[in-house]
Amino acid sequence: MKILENGGVFILETENTHYIMAVDSEGVLNHLHWGGKCPEEDYFSTYKPWERNSNHSARDLSKTEFIPYGGTVYRPVCFMATYPDGCREAVLTYKDFNISEDGDNFLLEIILEDKPYNLDVTLCYKLRENTDIIERFVKVNNNSYSLVVLNKISSGEFNLPSLRPYTSTNFNGAWAAEFRMESTVIKNGVLSYDSRKGGSNHTVNPVFILSQNADEKQGDVFFGALAWTGNFKTEISRDFAGRTRAVIGINDFDFSYNLHPGEEFITPSVFCGYAKGFSSMSNQMNSFATEYILPERYRKEPLPVLYNSWEATWFNVSSEGQQKLAELAADIGCELFVMDDGWFGQRKDDHAGLGDWYVNKKKFPEGLKPLIDKVKALGMRFGLWFEPEMVNPDSDLFRAHPEWAYHYKTRKASLLRNQLVLNLTREDVKEYVFKVMDDMLSEYDISYIKWDMNRAYSETGAENLENPQELWYRHVKAVYEIADRLKKKHADLQIECCASGGGRVDFGSLSHFDMVWTSDNTDPLDRLEIQHGFSLLYPIKCMRAWVTDTNRGSRPNDWDFRFNVTMQGSLSIGGNLLKYSEEELEIHRKYIAMYKEIRNTVQFGSFYRLANFKEDSIYATEYVDENQSVLFLCRGANTFFNSKFYHINLDGLDKDSQYKFEYEGKEAVFSGAYLMNVGLDFDMGGTLQSKIIVLKKA
């Protein structure tokens, strides 16, 4: 890992890649290369500064590192500003650079300036040991004596090397159908994915994945993931000369930001990388997240097996009912008991109570203490559900402070799930939210919060702000701030990020929250697809997955199948244990105990997608660490001729080691080389059969 500069050429060197930039004769920072390495001297000796030509706008076609709106640039830009004299164009030219070392990190800052306006735009590149992932972010400093309005400020522009079209992969999801992968070949024009809902969204995700001739094991894959839990925009464009670029960052839709004299604006980071094949991309991001992104306190610890009461009791929680569930949860091996929605205010259903974060005395006459004491006595930790950013019109909070929700005086507030969004950009609202949560955490022994968020914003009036278009940005920052402050004060607190399932899965939330609730859809067949999409860029460890009663009876999937699917992430239990037979509880005990044996491998090992329903009619995933490998096989619902046996080649094993496991009812030993190069047939019986095979390294 190193950073070099020589005559305006910058080389970022990671384990396996080079990222090269150079300043041209007009002072513009151009992009030269991203991908495999070459000898350094080659870059210095071959770089020819950009030269103007006279027909098409050469600047528009050039590969720039951070192109602003201005001059003859007509493609998606990274930066737009309005200056005090009314000028709406920016010219960013090279001013200086700085390389610093901070522990294991290297930081390159390339300072560009818009000279007449005394505005600095600093492009930051952070490199870390043992990874090819580069972190990029941008700082804008107003060194003038006047206000500058930022109209667009992206986190980075990315130029791809090949002139042939790239395939863009993102998602076409929905509530309960997150991470439905879609790929599109971009031959011309601009493909834009964005969120305007306030959060990062169920439908699309703040990432770009651009590939050529790629599958799991080979091909070129360029990717970037934005660490932002709010409105974002990804624009991928290809021009007539065949140049593909991606611009990613905070959405400029209904956004602007007043940058006062002396102030600085820092964009969210984008974590980007280049990989040979999708598997390498996923593994790079998986280990980068557990190494560097997740909140430090629990980064390296496996997540506990949790029980969540939502699907068992819905809003009908009571001290007695929860205690009964807790007894069974502890008995089957759960380590954490989370009481979901329904415990506060006048919460009977989703029409009332949000905002009133005091314990409902009818449901919990003696407060939460008896329940929490019981949970603790049973050897589990206790967690509680909140939806801190929301308010029901039918709540004490709204009756006292109707002005605390985003609103316009002339517009009727649109309800979604009967609730409104609190204006967290107001200091008093932010403090209220912090205080009510802090009070609960201080009064009770609560070490886990499920932080939910169940609606998109609307009527986003925020009279308190000098520039109300800052609210999208400021709201997200307030969420991060509250989460961070709570964690700082309550050192052992873990927070799960939920937004009607996976509506807030991004590396912004994963920098402040410890894990995510992946989806409200707990049907195992659907889940396989959702988990497949999730696993592309997000850490397996953070993927909460519940075994529930969902679709019991209507879709035939047995307990083995359900556990098989959920054990591929962070195993959790969400069904109504009170209704289960002793035999069913025993199945739970067996699998939870087994999960604890393989949890480190699943949550921290290398991860391989070996087969999927689209291509194979079976799902196969594999997790590998230095001690063992775990293979999950799930056969789909369709039947095909000759489809009883599935041939699987494993991956990621040590070719020279022997692996011992149960195969066809007997103990078998095969070399890693055989399992990877030759592979084995697995008898998957009929439809919806599943197997978990643990291969112990000898």
Instruction: Considering only the stretches 74-82, 132-140, 498-506, 680-688, report the one whose residues sit in contact with ligand DGJ under the rule CB under 6 A.
Output: 498-506
C-beta of 113 vs 452, nearer to ligand DGJ: 452
Residue 565, amino acid: V
Cβ proximity of 207 and 235 under 8 Å: no
C-beta of 220 vs 341, nearer to ligand DGJ: 341
Cβ proximity of 191 and 303 under 8 Å: no
Question: Which parts of 620-649 interact with ligand DGJ (CB under 6 A)?
Answer: none
The only residue of 454, 521, 568, 628 in contact with ligand DGJ, by rule CB under 6 A: 454
How open is the CA angle 633-524-493, to the nearest 5 degrees?
Answer: 105
Question: Which parts of 518-537 interact with ligand DGJ (CB under 6 A)?
Answer: 520
DSSP conformation letters of 437-458: HHHHHHHS---EEEE-------
Cβ proximity of 538 and 558 under 8 Å: no
Bridge partners of residue 603, in order along the sequence: none
Cβ proximity of 209 and 168 under 8 Å: yes
What character string, x for contact with ligand DGJ (CB under 6 A) and - otherwise, covers 296-335? --------------x-------------------------
C-beta of 446 vs 498, nearer to ligand DGJ: 498
Bridge partners of residue 233, in order along the sequence: 194, 249
The only residue of 122, 286, 313, 500 in contact with ligand DGJ, by rule CB under 6 A: 500
How far apart are the C-alpha atoms of 270 and 236, rounded to whole Å? Answer: 15
Count Cβ atoms below 10 Å from residue 448 Cβ, excluding itself. Answer: 21
- Could you say whether residue 517 binds ligand DGJ (CB under 6 A)? yes
C-beta of 310 vs 604, nearer to ligand DGJ: 310
* Residues near 589 by beta carbon (within 8 Å), at least 6 away in sequence: 331, 332, 333
At 549, give phi and psi (nearest 5°): -90, 0
- Could you say whether residue 341 binds ligand DGJ (CB under 6 A)? yes
C-beta of 65 vs 341, nearer to ligand DGJ: 341
C-beta of 498 vs 565, nearer to ligand DGJ: 498
- Could you say whether residue 356 binds ligand DGJ (CB under 6 A)? no
State the nearest-atom distance from the C-beta of 552 to ligand DGJ, in Å.
18
Question: Which parts of 247-266 interact with ligand DGJ (CB under 6 A)?
Answer: none
Instruction: Considering only the stretches 128-136, 231-239, 394-402, 495-503, report the one whose residues sit in contact with ligand DGJ under the rule CB under 6 A.
Output: 495-503
Q: For 293, which DSSP code?
A: I
Instruction: Considering only the stretches 186-194, 205-213, 496-504, 560-568, report the one whose residues sit in contact with ligand DGJ under the rule CB under 6 A.
Output: 496-504
State the nearest-atom distance from the C-beta of 547 to ligand DGJ, in Å.
14
Cβ proximity of 521 and 533 under 8 Å: no
How far apart are the C-alpha atoms of 516 and 530, rounded to whole Å? Answer: 13
Identify the three-state secondary structure at position 539. coil
- Could you say whether residue 501 binds ligand DGJ (CB under 6 A)? yes
Q: In the bound complex, which residue of the shown chain has the CB atom lying closest to ligand DGJ? A: 341
The only residue of 110, 210, 372, 498 in contact with ligand DGJ, by rule CB under 6 A: 498
Structure tokens at 530: 């959702």
State the nearest-atom distance from the C-beta of 574 to ligand DGJ, in Å.
8
C-beta of 284 vs 550, nearer to ligand DGJ: 550
Cβ proximity of 527 and 521 under 8 Å: yes
Instruction: Considering only the stretches 60-68, 253-261, 460-468, 494-502, report the one whose residues sit in contact with ligand DGJ under the rule CB under 6 A.
Output: 494-502
Residue 557, amino acid: N
Cβ proximity of 132 and 14 under 8 Å: yes
Residue 206, amino acid: P
C-beta of 220 vs 496, nearer to ligand DGJ: 496
C-beta of 64 vs 454, nearer to ligand DGJ: 454
Cβ proximity of 317 and 326 under 8 Å: no
- Could you say whether residue 452 binds ligand DGJ (CB under 6 A)? yes
- Could you say whether residue 113 binds ligand DGJ (CB under 6 A)? no
How far apart are the C-alpha atoms of 17 and 133, rounded to whole Å? Answer: 9
Enumerate the active-site residues. 452, 520
How far apart are the C-alpha atoms of 656 and 604, rounded to whole Å? Answer: 22
- Could you say whether residue 178 binds ligand DGJ (CB under 6 A)? no
Residue 45, amino acid: S
Element holding 674 (H helix, E strand): helix 672-677
How open is the CA angle 318-321-324, to the nearest 5 degrees?
Answer: 145
Question: Where do contacts with ligand DGJ occur on this chain (CB under 6 A)?
Answer: 310, 340-341, 385, 452, 454, 498, 500-501, 517, 520
